[in-house]
Structure 1
Amino acid sequence: MPASVPQRPCGLYLITPDDIDTARLLSRVESALPYACWLQYRNKLADASLRHEQAAALLVRARGHGVRLLINDDVALAARIGADGVHLGEGDGDLAQARALLGPEALVGASCYDDIARARRAVEAGADHVAFGAFHPSATKPGARRAHPDLLGQAAALGVPRVAIGGITPDNAGPLLDAGADLIAVVGGVFDAPDPVAAARAYRAAFDRARASS
């Protein structure tokens, strides 16, 4: 079963862009961290050595801003650097083994795409949050399965935070927040924006509007 989450997260869940220039990556990410709740390190261009270097450096920056760092698809790396958790997609590792290795306080997330049954199984196996999407066309994963906002409401019964991902902008985030999303996960919406800091700020404002109207 999942570990208990001390405080239910709510806010922007930043996911790093693919960037092999560590100094540039750190600069890009750190400028947006004040507006984030969680940060996921994901870099499909990096080899194992560079992933370790970048993840360890990001952990320092994230903790300096009170942001929790998760590692994409690499439980061993999360354990080696003492990250706050891991996110696993379909076929990327066993959730129960990840929970056993990282411990009861770690964040262990699972991609559930458009599948509420997968989300139920993930929570039973040790996930403490579940991600659904893509809700809109995504440049990061153009072929991603499309999810319906109703999934977020259905997942409320699981009792864990719900992450929405996939083509979400500050302008279209509102219905997903109303449907029950606790976190909005974003790559390009921040890091491909002309002004990433302004974009991150706009996502946080979307959460403020949702809270004010609830």
Structure 2
Amino acid sequence: MPLHPLYAIADTATLAERLLPAVEAALRGGVRWLQYRDKSTDHPRRHREAAALRTLCQDHGANLIINDDPDLALAVQADGVHLGQTDGDPARARQRLGSGAIIGVTCHDSLALAQQARHAGASYVAFGRFFPSRTKPDAPPATLDLLNRARTTVGLPIVAIGGITLKSGAPLLEAGADWLAVSHDLFSAPDIEHRARAYQTLPRCREENRL
């Protein structure tokens, strides 16, 4: 059985008080990659939520990735961190979190940025947006051809992000993405667990992820 292709992004800007039950439903649906995304400055709340998510992820055998904040990732013993292009040096995050940490880097629509991320010690790269996105409306658009080229040149697992839905995800996986980073289409679903399970049925370009 292939690993679940869904990389769930739990964004507190939209989930708010639904965060923990919504994430638990996604984990019951098979999600094994969860990113905690919170852009606020409420550090005590962020720590409480991240710690609670860490417990949930451990209970379900899932990886917890913290968006933008290596210090928070270290504090709650998360599995790793995801960095945007303005969120710090992947090499420094690697040094801070250790050799076993998962370090993801946003590379927009650029193979050059992906190569830089690989040389800096990234574990995976994320390309997008592929469709109009609520969380990243100003990100430059990316193409299926980019995924094809990244598959043969970058040498790291690939996450596709940006407005992805259950209907639009299959071509991205077939073009070379290992995971689909999804927020709204998952967490706005009437039945989150069912929607998460539905992503498992999408066709893949391979049987196993590379990370």
Q: With structure 2 as the length reference, what TM-score do the two structures score?
A: 0.90
CA distance in 1, matches of 2:47, 2:96: 18
Instruction: Determine if contact 1:20/1:46 at 8 Å carries over to the other structure.
Output: no
Structure 2 counterpart of 1:40: 35
Instruction: Determine if contact 1:131/1:164 at 8 Å carries over to the other structure.
Output: yes
The answer to whether 1:70 aligns with 2:77 is no
CA distance in 2, matches of 1:159, 1:212: 15
Taking only aligned residues, the RMSD between alpha carbons, in angstroms, comes to 1.8
Once the two structures are TM-superposed, the CA of residue 205 in structure 1 deviates from its matched residue by 1.4
The answer to whether 1:13 aligns with 2:2 is no
CA distance in 2, matches of 1:107, 1:154: 23
The answer to whether 1:147 aligns with 2:179 is no
Query: Runs of 4 or more off by more than 6 Å in structure 1?
Result: none
Structure 2 counterpart of 1:191: 187
Amino acid at match of 2:24: E
Structure 2 counterpart of 1:160: 156
Amino acid at match of 2:82: H
CA distance in 1, matches of 2:68, 2:206: 35
The answer to whether 1:171 aligns with 2:162 is no
Q: With structure 1 as the length reference, what TM-score do the two structures score?
A: 0.89
Once the two structures are TM-superposed, the CA of residue 211 in structure 1 deviates from its matched residue by 5.9
Instruction: Determine if contact 1:17/1:191 at 8 Å carries over to the other structure.
Output: no
Structure 1 counterpart of 2:176: 180
CA distance in 1, matches of 2:41, 2:4: 30
Structure 1 counterpart of 2:95: 100
TM-aligned CA distance change 1:9 to 1:123, over 3 Å: farther
What SS class does the counterpart of residue 113 from structure 1 fall into?
Answer: coil
Identify unmatched segments of 5+ residues in structure 2: none
CA distance in 2, matches of 1:29, 1:191: 8
Answer with 68-77 or 41-50: which moved more. Answer: 41-50
Aligned length: 202
Once the two structures are TM-superposed, the CA of residue 44 in structure 1 deviates from its matched residue by 2.3
CA distance in 2, matches of 1:26, 1:61: 8
Structure 2 counterpart of 1:30: 24
CA distance in 2, matches of 1:155, 1:115: 9
The one of 132, 139, 145 aligned to 1:137: 132
What SS class does the counterpart of residue 201 from structure 2 fall into?
Answer: helix
The answer to whether 1:85 aligns with 2:85 is no
Identify unmatched segments of 5+ residues in structure 1: 1-7
Amino acid at match of 2:133: S
Identity %: 49
